[in-house]
Chain A
Amino acid sequence: MREFLEGSQAIAKVVSLCKPGVISAYPITPQTHIVEGLAQLIADGKLNSQFINVESEHSAASVVLGASACGVRVFTATSSQGLFLMAEVLFNIAGMRLPVVLTCANRAMSAPISIWNDHQDSISLRDSGLIQLYAENIQEAVDWHLLAYRLAESRNIMLPAMVCIDGYILTHGVEPVDMPEEGEIDRFLPEYQPPYKLDVDNPITLGCLADPEYYMETRFAIQETYKDILASMPQLFKEFGSIFGRSYNFVERYRLDDAEKAIVAMGSVCGTIKDVVDELRKKGKKVGLLKISVFRPFPYQEIYASLRSIPKVAVVDRALSLGSFAPLVSEIKALFFGKKKTPKIVSGFVAGLGGRDITKDSVKQIFRQLNQREVSGKFVDLKPELLQDKI
């Protein structure tokens, strides 16, 4: 059914249709509308779920860990500092192979404190074992939650999954959304069948100490699982398309086929970039966009195949790895090493930190700068005159 919904309300609705048995969260902007929506659905008797109000995000993640270990589908959501407070638990959830699903309403990291959007929070958890899916718009945000649950709970995967949606832009924006029907969701997402759980009739011990004889193999198992995810997702995308009529992939290639210049980006900025691509194409410029939707697992092959024939590539990072290359550009550059066919230029741009708008002009500026030689770590729309050098 097509509805006009705020992003957070749309996510609350689709999560409720996934019927999580336990939901726990702690307030943080701009995530709060999601769990407020779920709390209201429970209060109105429209969702049968236990909502546990906790005293921190650390406990929110721990509550869903405990409930997931009992074989119950769970949900939590957070942003920024909250995600970092959860970080210790999220590594733990991944290591314990529990299919927790969470939404990250992407927000900048303090200091200085900022409630506005960039990707520093989720990108910083790239090594945690979380599956990471990035949404361009509210429809994708809705659909990625279904894929997140399906992936996370697959018997051969059993890993936590995080849907990343740009704070405010998607959490508070209103767009038309095709809300999946309950029956369709039930077909795509069967009831969670835990391979193991805390059960008094079949007592097991979870969370053992692993000495050097065993630890490394547990990490290897997760690394191997990520290969399984890459291998199994195409079939999952196909199944998703046949039920819901919308097709997804690891990446979206937007007018890339004959492109001479391409921007690589993630999240809501891809909408703006598409508009610019359309404008420039009208003027005869051969430009395109590679949108990365699945960041973990990192879809090397799809990215390589998409970019290898494009002479000039600009990677837009909305996060930093302070003291080194920005995260996305460094991973993309790394995948071309040793390959025969590669772009001539892979330039790195940093844009939209702490909610700085990435406008059409910003995008055009990036395309323009691709005429010159390769740049690295170029800040877009920077206003250096605002920096104080005296106190």
Chain B
Amino acid sequence: MSGSQIKSLFASGHTACAGCGQSLAARLVIDAAGPNTIVANNTGCLEVFSTKYPESAWGIPWIHSLFENAAAVASGIEAALRFLEESSSKKRLRDITVIAQAGDGGTADIGLQALSGMWERGQNILSICYDNEAYENTGIQRSGLTPYDASTTTSPAGSRSFGNPRIKKPLPEIANAHGIIYVATATVGFPQDLQRKVKKAISLKGPKYLQIHVPCPLGWGYASSLTYQIARLAVQTGLYPLVEYENGVLKGVFKISPKPVEEYLKPQRRFKHIINNPEELSKIQEIANDNIKKYNLVTAAG
């Protein structure tokens, strides 16, 4: 079929890898947000594969500046819209949704200072983290959101290493500590839930944070057809709990019937070195168990 009538604000023809979870999430987000949206994007995979000059996949006004400053650029956009609404005849400009989006490195590491500033100022901006758990764009280096034991090019597994020695930085909790209005996690594995959370976030005035789990076939080392399944398994094992806070109060969790973490880890090359190591597996199971307990993830029937 050619000459399709598909109307998406994130057009085909972008150059993401086949099966890219981030490109999928970007489309789900922007189609949920709608055309009355301006996006500021940090440097990273998403920026590179969607806006290679002279082409752009974006159907909304979109700007990329640097690796660490999308939150500050978005702050300037939001301030400009407030100024324009107050000083001109153009009304309802402040109803425009402003999104600051980045990968996990751009959010949790290099961009955290600007993001914290934006949250603290209380600006009406939705910040989105596309969490593929490493610096995939530069070649799969470890970030602050790389999970425990994942082998990356800068936290490689080896005879004296089980990969990344740290657990994920608790970004949703850091966001909540700023007293912002809405914090949630989502995943491409549950796309309707993801889009509902985007809509919920933009219905609220003030700073919002949405962290989306986006599997990366290249960086995680799994077959490109498994993006959706792996995303679901991360949730279903308890390793990536889907939670939703309003004003710091836990308002909702995505209930699960927990599966063993091996089901999630096994298809991924980044965990290959520990898949036959009961001691390390039990540590990862413990991370899942802690999440299950902390967020009360298990269904009543389960």
Contacts and interface: CB of A to CB of B under 8 A. Distances in A.
Instruction: Say if the two chains contact directly (CB < 8 Å).
Output: yes
A54 B96 contact: no
Contacts of A58: 68-69, 72, 113-114
Contact of A214 (B37, B54, B117): B54
Contact of A64 (B52, B76, B113, B114): B76
Interface stretch (A65-73, A280-288, A291-299): A65-73
A48 interface: yes
Interface residues of A, number: 44
A200 B61 contact: yes
A314 to B, nearest CB: 41
A207 B60 contact: no
B47 A209 contact: yes
A198 B75 contact: no
Interface stretch (A88-96, A119-127, A222-230, A381-389): A88-96
A147 interface: no
Contact of A62 (B35, B41, B59, B114): B114
A350 B46 CA distance: 48
Given A203-B61, A211-B53, A53 B72 contact: no
B80 A21 contact: yes
Contacts of B71: 59
A49 B83 CA distance: 7
A204 interface: yes
B58 A203 contact: yes
B276 interface: no
Contacts of B36: 200
Interface string A27-64: 00000000000000000000011101111101110111
Contacts of B87: 21, 48
A88 B68 CA distance: 10
B79 A52 contact: yes
A53 B123 CA distance: 11
A207 B51 contact: yes
A68 B59 contact: no
A199 B35 CA distance: 11
Contacts of B108: none
Contact of A207 (B65, B68, B80, B117): B65
A80 interface: no
A72 B77 CA distance: 9
Interface string A2-23: 0000000000000000000110
A70 B48 CA distance: 22
B130 to A, nearest CB: 17
B51 A63 contact: no
A334 interface: no
B47 to A, nearest CB: 7
Contacts of A65: 65, 69, 73, 76
B121 interface: yes
Nearest to B114: A59
Interface string A299-319: 000000000000000000000
B79 A63 contact: yes
Contacts of B58: 203, 205
A210 interface: yes
B86 interface: yes
A24 interface: yes
Contact of B76 (A22, A92, A211): A22
A322 interface: no
A206 interface: yes
Given A88-B66, A205-B56, A209-B53, A54 B72 contact: yes
8 contacts: A21-B83, A22-B79, A62-B75, A62-B76, A72-B83, A198-B38, A207-B65, A208-B52
Name the 5 nearest CB pairs between A and B, nearest first. Answer: A66-B76, A62-B72, A207-B64, A55-B117, A205-B56
